[in-house]
Homo-oligomer: A and B are copies of this chain.
């Protein structure tokens, strides 16, 4: 793999030509994506992740190791030297768009009108506008107006 790609040598890809499938092979389970969400929200130590997700220790240990191996998280010693902390790599930080899209879909479809939920806000405290794919002219596109071209 070239610089800038994740460290995914030796991966047994489900569908090698499809970028959706490769991403899901790397981070496509609920716990991995919740760990990434929490790392974006400031979690660094094992116990931070454990408290926020409620995930079992053995599963958390395995998921953190996979995310390090796959180039999504870096592990290093805290300044005190007494514990390990985790930080998102550049590739991990770049999952921000995906986490925002999961959040916004959830806001639209997974809450009743009277249920409260957390909000992602900008530096002025204003919620982000909805992400919508567009064509190169800025016109919104959807399932009906786009096509997947297979790799050669």
A binding-site residues for B, Cβ under 8 Å: 1-2, 4-6, 8, 14-15, 17-26, 28-30, 33-34, 37, 40-41, 52-54, 71, 88, 91, 93-113, 116-126, 128-129, 131-136, 141-143, 145-152
Instruction: Give the chain B neighbours of A119 by CB distance below 8 A.
Output: 148-149, 151
Instruction: Give the chain B neighbours of A142 by CB distance below 8 A.
Output: 93, 96
Contact between B133 and A96, CB atoms less than 8 A apart = yes
A146-B121 contact, Cβ under 8 Å, with A15-B53, A19-B111, A136-B126: yes
Instruction: Give the chain B neighbours of A20 by CB distance below 8 A.
Output: 33-34, 37, 99, 102-103, 106
Contact between B149 and A121, CB atoms less than 8 A apart = yes
Instruction: Give the chain B neighbours of A93 by CB distance below 8 A.
Output: 142-143
Contact between A128 and B141, CB atoms less than 8 A apart = yes
Contact between A145 and B123, CB atoms less than 8 A apart = yes
* Chain B residue nearest to A136 in the complex (CB): B126
Instruction: Give the chain B neighbours of A6 by CB distance below 8 A.
Output: 109-110
Contact between B5 and A152, CB atoms less than 8 A apart = no
Instruction: Give the chain B neighbours of A111 by CB distance below 8 A.
Output: 1, 5, 19, 22
Considering the complex of A and B, which 3 residue pairs feature the smallest CB-CB distances, nearest first?
A19-B106, A28-B30, A22-B110
